[in-house]
């Protein structure tokens, strides 16, 4: 199973941030960059699944030239290659634009002979938190889409079986019919996906190709090995230039939260304050009898 | 919010290893009402101590750093936070093996147990190292790791327990008040503290804090990359934090250090990544700690491959993951030395910055002693904050030099090596002439000084083998036989030396005599026009400087000293002037100096002036203004090269004219331009003249360096009591000049020592003096007039016997030497006839 | 008119976050685009500025009443056998079918709400803004960077599709109304069912540690120091019969499993008391504990965000303090 994972270079922020002079971006000059934690899990799932099925993992990002670091970091943990769609400032794009760009690249790669059975994204990016690129991409590709997925597993045979859901769509992946290119061959496989729902773990079974948006928590993303990192340095990275924004970002500016006034009661310093704390716990009534 | 004491005897800013050690030692020395603040939480407030790799290799080429490190190791051991692991520095190339042999020299010189080992011996202790990658190693069994945060906590808590210290973490310093050049108050986020002393011990933030007081601590935060990989099964097999020796892979500028089941790999190989102190993120905005900056993978990638080469078995294991990777910040200074002591810019503002974990406790002790007693036990003058010339405190200079220095951390640095960056900052008036003459410039204090002149290359033929050529590349690097040719030509005819880099300042006013009398060892109540060479001592009778003082008027003294240490001298004098009646005026940039020496000097000068420059008319040790054409010139008849001649002082703007006039007049007298190679080394060494920083330091007495005079002046002066005591005692060491008897190496090449080499007995045993110091070469250089290579060294008194046959160890080979002088008697012209002709 | 997707729990009750979203819709009528009635409803157009709800599946009587108290005038109840198992595409289409051409469609920023609004936005050809926290004359304000910053934006088009960030407002009742409830005959496309839930493994609860249901949660952060530093903390958890929650740094370092993570990308908890030990208070973590009724911080740093946000705090080393607290608890038990 060949898997494409879409990742985004985001600033690795801690407690507080400052804005740049334009007021439309945060000042990331002193910050490190990473990919979102959802995407780290997506990469891990892709690597495990590809390994189990004898497939490959390609990572794609739309971002500045430096975003190649995030692609290489993914290769360092086991992805095979990367695609950089270069856009100096991705914040000018709307989620619709990003989905369109990725869709176009997937179709272009298909023409070049590289097809993907499964496209993974994170649920949302750690910076913009739009929660829609994966879904919009799926509609663009006319693939079915799941979100909030924590684990995936390639399964044999049909999409059928399991639970009270009744008959399946007889193996057909409705939305994928007549897909507009970039479509993997029919019968590319079936994936079982799990995510946390309101009443427990929800299990989905889906014929490929498909888009799955991953939520952090199902797997522990691995760290790179030294040899992985060395391999990453030499990994092939296909490069595209992003087009001008179509829809364009609706952003006017960024704002920072006001500093809240504290109303904390300091119970004391050090172990001597322990009785005061136990008093509070007793008052709240959470002490075991 | 907890409040803070309103008053303090001293406010220590910073709770890293340095600040914590400092408060401990201050409390030990009897200080009370100390307040220590840090903007971060305890026990790890987020500075460089918190992410340090915490290992210590004691051997360093610098005696000062080695001393501080050994003291620190002793302190860590006493605190029970030192784990001995042993450590290797491994060489991948023969060139590096040579450097390891030089490290052996430093180990022997400082008395640290070390040995050179074969690859197989390395693998015996580090079985996962690939021996085929290396050609050998340098083993130091006393290498170890420390818990610097724990040590700091214990030291801080001991000061608290003694009732001497109030600690206030999470307290940001917001301002420092200065009144009349003195510290008066510290503003913090928890209130104000009235104090007249502030200790800046805040590492990479130090420049920012000093700037609040209007002062400069010229360091820059710089990145040292480190990753931690694991779990490594081979490491996990053995219990504890560290059970394998630390390996420094010197040629790749990396180290591999076990930490439990992880291996830490650190690098000094990447491009210099400098930050401004203001760019360091706040604690709130930092992902890890403020000094653990985001890792930049691409900078480290080449080191990964090299690390795998060295330890393929453990590091190419795909299960060994990179779990932690930082661009850790540490402090770099323009000359690589720490920045210690009281700022020359603001009284009461003390610095203890740019200090590594390996030196932290030692520095804390030294600066605490310094503030308490006026000087530390260990000589730390190389780290004195007062050493910097103004341009050396600029951001651009700091950036340029630290960028250049970063990759020298594990580099092979020749003792004569010159900086490439930020040159041509201070040019003498005759600089253009010197360039035309093919001067090869060396830099000191920003001044471009000709070391030798290629225009004198023709002299090589004249003097033949007397120039003592050095066939070995290392011995001859940053050196030229032309230096020795210039030397010989000067001794036979005359030489012209550009001495514009002198630091010159006047002490003037009705109390000037009293002031200089109190500072200098020599009698200063001399007739006007006398020039006096004098040691400047500290209270313990050690050397603070040596310099010349001219009495120009009843109330004016002109002090002339070297560029390297001159700025510290200015501060030393300044701090010891009376409250009124004497002022200092720094004239360094007002006056240029040209030296004219050699048997023909009198003829040259006499032809240019109507003044009487005869033996009687211009006695040695006097100075007066003479006219040379239309230039009034202050002529001073002294010599640091041991020949007849004058130092000629004119205003900077007339320097070129004077140079041209002298040069032209000298044409018929065989005058040549002579570089500092002669002035600084060959001229002085065959005359046995001592140099500050080499032979003269705070640990050696006037008696031990053979410079005591028959009488001691009756007037009081700094260090007098100690000096009188030293005169009564048997010396613990005696400064000797030795000549090398045979230069032939095992391979048949003539080798020439450069300084720093150990001196051992004829049997190869170390020679240890009464200070506990091993004998080592303090200065080395050609004595062309004698055809000898001369070494200066302190020897145990019993060994300081003329004709005593000893050995010098150079590149781990033994060469015979003979003690040729056991006092300051010159090897060349012992009766000083040349000077007094 | 604002149409709010209202989530109900397994008993058919309105979830807390949906109540928040309804309240948000009611309190900001003039600031959101105001369209007419839903296209599929018969009868008179509702008054401008009204708030309507859409519920799929179980809807209890008490939920109807609660929505009435929250100011919902109309409830669109969508029930169909094909919607019994969740399928985002099918559910979204059902919502879209009753969504007006102009106005506002919103849900709370839960995983379901996010997913459905995104599908609905695509299917209606609209933009979507996630995690909105306010709207005024200057446009919408939404959380970005995990809540560390806000984005001010303006949506074009007549229909705005948004989600409301959790805890952006507190549910507030108003003059109770008796909402009309409309039921529909639905046509569910087969293609939209390929992504339906095949089965739910309720027993495989992710809340094995009881994190989201515990009345007392003891939180531990980087300040614990190491993988082996959880001794005192776990003892306190035991004394309180509570659960352990950890910051992302702790799981990132591999000290504890992700299931124990509290925050933006972990569990969002609402215990009676949350005791944060050695947690500085990164915004991502704070997002997960906004529901805690009492917040206690134990930290060496008095200026730490967590201390400043807490109701009570002890300044000190967490190991020492918690050991003393454990001792005190044991002592009081006798």
Q: Would you kindly state where each structural domain of chain A is located, as residue ranges?
A: 3-241
The strand pair at B543-553 and B531-537 is best described as antiparallel
Is B753's pLDDT higher than 90? yes
Please indicate whether residue B187 is annotated as part of the active site.
no
- Contact by Cβ (8 Å): A81, A42: no
Q: Place A174 in a pLDDT band, splitting at 50, 70 and 90.
A: very low
Instruction: Check residue C35 and give its pLDDT.
Output: 58
What residues of chain A, 200 to 219, have a C-beta less than 8 Å from chain C? 200-207, 215-217
Give C7-36 pLDDT, tens digit per residue: 998 888 898 889 999 999 998 876 666 655
**Mean pLDDT, chain C, integer:** 87
Decide if B235 is inside a domain: yes
**Whole-number pLDDT of residue B454:** 98
Q: What is the mean pLDDT of residues B150-176?
A: 95
CB–CB of A32 and B286 under 8 A? no
pLDDT of residue A289: 65
State mean pLDDT over C37-42: 48
Average pLDDT over residues C215-236: 89
- Does an H or E element contain B809, and which? strand B805-810
- Is residue C123 within 8 Å of C97, Cβ to Cβ? no
Q: Measuring CA to CA, how many Å separate B384 from each of B169, B356, B658?
A: 28, 16, 36
The answer to whether the Cβ–Cβ distance between A216 and C294 falls below 8 Å is: no
Looking at chain C, which residues constitute the CATH 3.40.50.620 domain(s)? 2-193
For B650-668, how does the pLDDT look when each residue is reduced to its tens digit (9 = 90+)? 999 999 999 999 999 999 9
Is B752 labeled as catalytic in the residue annotation? no
The number of C-beta contacts closer than 8 angstroms across A and C is 293
Residue B691 confidence (pLDDT) above 60: yes
Rg (CA), chain A: 22
The sign of the torsion formed by the CA atoms of B101, B103, B109, B112 equals negative
Of B309, B332, B355, the residue that ends a domain is B332
On whether both B174 and B191 belong to a single domain, the answer is yes
Contact B524, B549 (CB under 8 A): yes
Q: Hey, how many other C-beta atoms are within 10 angstroms of the C-beta on C94?
A: 26
B607 within some domain: yes
Instruction: Measure in Å the smallest separation between the Cα of A109 and chain C Cα atoms.
Output: 25
What's the total number of domains in chain B?
Answer: 4
What pLDDT shows up at residue C257? Answer: 81
Q: Is residue B72 part of a domain?
A: no
Top residue of C314, C315, C319, C322 to mutate, by most chain A CBs within 10 Å, is C314
- A256 lies within 8 A of chain B by CB: no
pLDDT of the residue at A262: 75
CA distances, C93 to each of B837, C5, C80 (Å): 112, 12, 13
**pLDDT by residue (tens digit) across B431-453?**
999 999 999 999 999 999 999 99
Q: Is the pLDDT of residue C48 over 70?
A: no
Q: What is the pLDDT of residues A41-75, one digit of tens each?
A: 999 999 999 999 999 999 999 999 999 999 999 99
Task: Name the phi and psi angles at B299, rounded to 5.
Answer: -70, -25
Domain hosting B339: range is 10-46+151-219+335-400
CATH number at residue B27: 3.50.50.60
Examine the domain organization and report whether B236 and B318 are in the same domain.
Answer: yes
Q: Which of C55-64, C198-207, C248-257 has maximum average pLDDT? A: C55-64
Which tokens belong to B379? 């000589």
Closest CA to C161 of A98, A95, A146: A95
Maximum distance among all Cα pairs of chain A, rounded to whole angstroms: 72
Residue among A44, A131, A207, A245 with most chain C CBs within 10 A, to mutate: A131
Of B24, B25, B224, B743, the active-site residue reads B224
> Tell me, what DSSP letter sits at residue B680?
I
CATH, domain range C2-193: 3.40.50.620
CATH class of A3-241: alpha beta
- Average pLDDT, stretch A82-89? 96
Looking at residues B681-699, what average pLDDT do you find?
94
Tell me the mean pLDDT in the region B149-177. Answer: 95
Q: What CATH number has the domain bearing residue B655?
A: 3.30.1360.120
pLDDT at A181: 39
Beta strands C51-56 and C2-5 are: parallel
Tell me: pLDDT of B97 over 80.
yes
Segment C308-332 shows an average pLDDT of 92
Domain boundaries for CATH 3.40.50.1220 within chain C = 216-333
- Please check whether residues B323 and B344 belong to one and the same domain: no
Which residue in the set C89, C122, C151 is minimally distant from A254, CB to CB?
Answer: C151
Record the pTM.
0.86
Query: Which residues have a Cβ under 8 Å from the Cβ of A177 and sit 6 or more positions away?
Result: A142
Compute the mean pLDDT over every residue in chain A, rounded to the nearest whole number: 87
Q: Do B293 and A32 touch (CB under 8 A)?
A: yes
Based on the domain organization, do B190 and B175 belong to the same domain? yes
Residue in A13, A72, A224 closest to B321 by CB: A224
CATH of the domain at B550: 3.30.70.1400
Cα separation, B644 vs B684, whole angstroms: 14
**What distance in Å separates residue B227's CA from the closest CA in chain A?**
10
Residue B475, pLDDT above cutoff 90: yes
B731-742: average pLDDT:
97
Q: Which two structure tokens, joined as six digits, stand for B491?
A: 């001794």
**To the nearest whole angstrom, how far is the Cα of A22 from the nearest Cα of chain B?**
19
Task: For B13-39, write each residue's pLDDT tens digit.
Answer: 999 999 999 999 999 999 999 999 999
Name the residue with higher pLDDT: B49 or A171. B49
Mean pLDDT of chain B: 95
Tokens of C115: 């997913």
Find which of B42, B267, B318, B329 to mutate to test the A interface (most A CBs within 10 Å of its CB): B318
**Cα C173 vs. chain centroid, distance in angstroms?**
19
What is the average pLDDT across A24-42?
A: 90
Whether the CB-CB separation of A206 and A193 falls below 8 Å is answered with yes
Residue C209 pLDDT level (bands cut at 50, 70, 90): low
Checking if the pLDDT of A185 tops 80, the result is: no
**Res. A171: pLDDT tops 50:** no
Topology of the domain covering C216-333: Rossmann fold (3.40.50)
Query: Considering only CA atoms, which of C33, C51, C3, C1 is closest in space to residue C157?
Result: C33
Domain C-terminal end among B299, B314, B332: B332
Has B679 been annotated as catalytic? Answer: no
Beta strand B136-140 with B182-188 is unpaired
- The pLDDT assigned to B298 comes to 87
Contacts of B279 in chain A (CB under 8 A): 29-30
Q: What is the pLDDT of residue C308?
A: 85
Quote the crossing angle between the two packed helices B148-161 and B17-28, to the nearest 10°.
30
B777 located within any domain: no
Is the pLDDT assigned to residue B121 strictly greater than 50?
yes
Catalytic residue among B71, B249, B538, B546: B546
User: At C204, is the pLDDT very low, low, confident or very high (cuts 50, 70, 90)?
Assistant: very low
Provide the angle, in degrees to the nearest 10, between the axes of the packed helices A226-234 and A68-76.
130
User: Mean pLDDT over residues B407-426, rounded?
Assistant: 93
Give the per-residue pLDDT at A168: 36
CATH number at residue B260: 3.30.9.10
Q: Of residues B255, B679, B689, B810, which has the active-site annotation?
A: B255
Percentage with pLDDT > 70 across chain B: 100
Q: Which residue of A has its CA nearest to C196?
A: A204
For residue C308, the distance in angstroms to the closest alpha carbon of chain B comes to 11
pLDDT of residue A263: 82
Q: Is B748 in the A-facing interface, judged by CB distances under 8 Å?
A: no
Residue-wise DSSP of chain A: --EEEEE-EEEE--S---B-TTSSSB--TT-EEEE-HHHHHHHHHHHHHHHHHT--EEEEEEE-GGGHHHHHHHHHTT--EEEEEE-S-GGGS-HHHHHHHHHHHHHHHHHTT---SEEEEESS-TTT----HHHHHHHHHT--EEEEEEEEEEESS-S--STT-----TT--GGGTT--S-PPPTT--EEEEEEEETTEEEEEEEESSEEEEE-TTSS-PPPPBHHHHHHHHH--EEEEE----SS---EEEEE-PPPPPP-PEEEEEGGGGHHHHHHHHHHHT-S--
Same domain for B97 and B215, yes or no, is no
Q: How confident is the model at residue C188 (pLDDT cuts 50, 70, 90)?
A: very high
Q: Which of A149-158, B268-277, B424-433 has the highest mean pLDDT?
A: B424-433
**In this structure, are B241 and B324 located in the same domain?**
yes
Angle between helices C318-333 and C231-240 (to 10 degrees): 30
B313 close to A (CB below 8 A): no
Residues of chain B contacting A226 with CB distance shorter than 8 Å: 229, 304, 307-308, 315-316, 320, 322
CB C124 within 8 A of CB C159: yes
Helix (H, G, I), strand (E, B) or coil at C297: strand
What chain B residue is nearest to A18 in terms of C-alpha separation? Answer: B285
């Amino acid at each position: 199973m060949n898997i494409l994972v879409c990742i985004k270079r985001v600033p690795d922020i801690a407690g507080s941030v400052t804005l740049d002079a334009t007021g439309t971006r945060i000042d990331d000059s002193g910050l490190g960059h990473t990919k979102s934690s959802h995407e780290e899990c997506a990469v891990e799932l892709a690597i495990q699944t590809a390994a189990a099925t004898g497939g490959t993992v390609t990572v794609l990002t739309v971002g500045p030239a430096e975003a190649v670091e995030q692609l290489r970091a993914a290769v360092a943990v086991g992805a095979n290659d990367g695609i950089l769609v270069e856009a100096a400032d991705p914040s000018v794009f709307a989620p619709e634009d990003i989905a369109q760009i990725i869709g176009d690249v997937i179709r272009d790669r298909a023409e070049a002979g590289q097809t993907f059975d499964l496209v993974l994204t994170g649920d949302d990016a750690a910076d913009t938190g739009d929660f829609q690129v994966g879904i919009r991409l799926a509609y663009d590709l006319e693939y079915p889409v799941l979100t909030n997925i924590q684990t995936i597993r390639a399964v044999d045979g049909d999409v059928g079986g399991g639970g009270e859901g009744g008959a399946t769509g007889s193996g057909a992946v409705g939305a994928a019919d007549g897909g507009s290119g970039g479509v993997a061959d029919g019968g590319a496989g079936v994936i079982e996906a799990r995510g946390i729902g309101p009443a427990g773990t929800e299990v989905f079974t889906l014929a490929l190709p498909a888009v799955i948006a991953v939520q952090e928590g199902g797997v522990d993303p691995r760290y790179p090995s030294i040899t992985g990192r060395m391999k990453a340095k030499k990994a092939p990275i296909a490069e595209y230039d992003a087009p001008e924004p179509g829809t364009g970002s609706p952003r006017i500016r960024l704002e920072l939260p006001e500093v809240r006034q504290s109303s904390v009661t300091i119970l004391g310093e050090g172990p001597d304050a322990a009785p005061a704390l136990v008093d509070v716990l007793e008052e709240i009534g959470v002490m075991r009898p | 919010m907890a409040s803070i004491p309103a008053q303090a005897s001293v406010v220590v800013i910073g709770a890293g290893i340095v600040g914590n050690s400092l408060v401990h030692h201050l409390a030990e020395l009897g200080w009370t009402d100390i307040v220590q603040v840090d903007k971060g939480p305890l026990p790890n407030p987020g500075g460089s101590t918190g992410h340090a790799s915490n290992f210590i290799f004691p051997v360093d080429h610098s005696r000062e750093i080695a001393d501080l490190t050994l003291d620190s190791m002793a302190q860590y051991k006493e605190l029970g936070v030192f784990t001995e692991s042993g450590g290797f520095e491994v060489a991948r190339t023969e060139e590096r093996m040579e450097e390891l042999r030089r490290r052996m020299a430093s180990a022997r010189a400082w008395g640290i147990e070390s040995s050179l080992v074969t690859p197989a011996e390395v693998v015996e202790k580090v079985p996962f190292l690939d021996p085929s990658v290396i050609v050998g190693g340098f083993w130091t069994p006393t290498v170890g790791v420390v818990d610097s945060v724990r040590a700091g906590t214990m030291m801080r808590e001991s000061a608290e327990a003694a009732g001497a210290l109030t600690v206030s973490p999470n307290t940001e310093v917001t301002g420092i008040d200065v009144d009349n050049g003195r510290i008066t108050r510290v503003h913090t986020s928890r209130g104000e503290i009235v104090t007249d002393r502030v200790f800046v011990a805040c590492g990479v933030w130090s420049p920012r804090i000093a700037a609040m007081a209007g002062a400069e601590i010229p360091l820059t935060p710089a990145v040292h990359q480190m990753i931690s990989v694991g779990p490594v099964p081979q490491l996990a097999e053995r219990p504890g934090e560290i059970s394998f020796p630390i390996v420094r892979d010197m040629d790749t500028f990396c180290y591999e250090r076990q930490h439990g089941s992880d291996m830490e790999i650190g690098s000094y190989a990447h491009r210099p990544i400098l930050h401004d102190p203001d760019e360091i993120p706040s604690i709130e905005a930092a992902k890890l700690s403020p000094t653990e900056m985001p890792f930049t993978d691409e900078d480290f990638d080449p080191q990964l491959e090299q690390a795998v080469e060295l330890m393929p078995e453990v590091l190419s294991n795909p299960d060994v993951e990179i779990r932690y990777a930082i661009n850790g910040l540490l402090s770099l200074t323009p000359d690589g030395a720490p920045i210690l002591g009281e700022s020359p810019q603001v009284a009461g503002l003390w610095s203890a910055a740019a200090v590594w974990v390996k030196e932290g406790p030692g520095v804390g002790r030294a600066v605490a002693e310094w503030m308490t007693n006026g000087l530390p036990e260990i000589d730390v003058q190389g780290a004195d904050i007062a050493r910097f010339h103004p341009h050396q405190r600029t951001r651009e200079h700091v950036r340029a030099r630290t960028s250049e220095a970063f990759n020298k951390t594990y580099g092979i640095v020749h003792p004569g090596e010159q900086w490439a960056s930020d040159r041509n900052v201070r040019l003498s008036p005759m600089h253009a002439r010197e360039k035309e003459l093919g001067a090869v410039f060396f830099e000191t204090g920003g001044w471009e000084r000709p070391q030798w002149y290629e225009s004198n290359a023709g002299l090589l033929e004249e003097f033949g083998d007397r120039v003592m050529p050095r066939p070995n590349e290392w011995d001859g690097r940053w050196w030229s036989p032309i230096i020795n040719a210039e030397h010989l030509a000067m001794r036979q005819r005359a030489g012209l030396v550009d001495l514009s880099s002198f630091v010159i300042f006047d002490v003037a006013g009705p109390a000037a005599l009293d002031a200089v009398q109190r500072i200098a060892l020599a009698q200063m109540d001399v007739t006007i026009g006398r020039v006096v060479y004098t040691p400047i001592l500290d209270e313990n009778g050690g050397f603070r400087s040596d310099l010349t003082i001219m009495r120009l008027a009843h109330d004016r003294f002109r002090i002339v000293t070297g560029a390297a240490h001159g700025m510290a001298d200015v501060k030393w004098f300044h701090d010891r002037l009376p409250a009124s009646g004497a002022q200092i005026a720094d004239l360094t940039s007002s006056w240029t100096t040209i030296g004219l020496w050699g048997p023909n000097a009198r003829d040259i000068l006499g032809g240019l002036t109507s003044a009487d420059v005869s033996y009687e008319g211009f006695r040695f040790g006097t100075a007066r203004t003479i006219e040379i054409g239309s230039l009034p010139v202050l002529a001073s008849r002294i010599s640091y090269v041991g020949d007849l001649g004058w130092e000629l002082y004119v205003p900077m703007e007339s320097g070129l004219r004077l140079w041209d006039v002298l040069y032209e007049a000298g044409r018929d007298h065989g005058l040549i331009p002579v570089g500092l190679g002669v002035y600084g080394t060959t001229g002085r060494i065959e005359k046995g003249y001592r140099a500050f920083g080499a032979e003269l330091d705070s640990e050696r007495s006037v008696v031990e360096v053979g410079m005591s005079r028959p009488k001691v002046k009756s007037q009081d002066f700094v260090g007098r009591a100690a000096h009188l005591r030293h005169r009564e005692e048997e010396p613990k060491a005696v400064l000797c000049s030795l000549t090398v008897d045979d230069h032939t190496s095992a391979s048949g090449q003539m080798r020439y020592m450069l300084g720093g080499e150990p001196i051992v007995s004829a049997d190869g045993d170390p020679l240890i003096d009464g200070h506990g110091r091993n004998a080592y070469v303090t200065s080395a250089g050609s004595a062309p007039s004698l055809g000898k290579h001369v070494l200066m060294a302190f020897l145990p008194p019993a060994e300081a016997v003329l004709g005593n046959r000893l050995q010098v160890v150079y590149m781990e080979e033994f060469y015979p030497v003979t003690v040729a002088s056991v006092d300051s008697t010159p090897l060349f012209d012992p009766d000083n006839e040349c000077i007094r002709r | 008119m604002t149409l709010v997707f209202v989530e109900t729990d397994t008993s058919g009750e309105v979830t807390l976050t949906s109540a928040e979203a309804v309240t948000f819709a009611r309190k900001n009528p003039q600031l959101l685009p105001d369209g007419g009635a839903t296209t599929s409803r018969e009868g008179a157009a509702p008054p401008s500025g009204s708030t309507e709800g859409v519920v799929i599946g179980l809807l209890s009587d008490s939920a109807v009443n609660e929505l009435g108290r929250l100011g919902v005038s109309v409830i669109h109840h969508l029930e169909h056998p094909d919607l019994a198992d969740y399928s985002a595409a099918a559910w979204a289409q059902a919502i879209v079918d009753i969504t007006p051409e102009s106005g506002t469609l919103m849900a709370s920023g839960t995983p379901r709400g996010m997913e459905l609004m995104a599908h609905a936005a695509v299917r209606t050809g609209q933009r979507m803004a996630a995690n909105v926290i306010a709207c005024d004359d200057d446009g919408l304000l939404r959380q970005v960077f995990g809540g560390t910053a806000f984005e001010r934006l303006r949506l074009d088009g007549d229909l705005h599709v948004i989600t409301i960030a959790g805890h952006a407002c507190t549910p507030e009742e108003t003059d109770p109304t008796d909402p009309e409830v409309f039921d529909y005959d639905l046509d569910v496309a087969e293609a939209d069912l390929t992504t339906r839930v095949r089965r739910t493994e309720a027993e495989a609860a992710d809340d094995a540690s009881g994190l989201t249901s515990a009345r007392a949660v003891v939180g531990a952060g980087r300040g614990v120091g190491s993988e082996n530093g959880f001794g005192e903390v776990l003892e306190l958890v035991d004394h309180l019969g509570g659960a352990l929650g950890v910051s992302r740094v702790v799981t990132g370092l591999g000290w504890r499993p992700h299931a124990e993570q509290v925050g933006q990308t972990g569990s969002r908890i609402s215990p009676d008391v949350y005791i944060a030990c050695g947690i500085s208070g990164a915004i991502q973590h704070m997002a997960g504990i906004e529901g805690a009724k009492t917040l206690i911080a134990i930290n060496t740093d008095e200026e730490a965000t967590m201390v400043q946000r807490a109701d009570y705090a002890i300044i000190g080393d967490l190991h020492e303090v918690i050991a003393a607290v454990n001792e005190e608890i044991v002592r009081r038990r006798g």
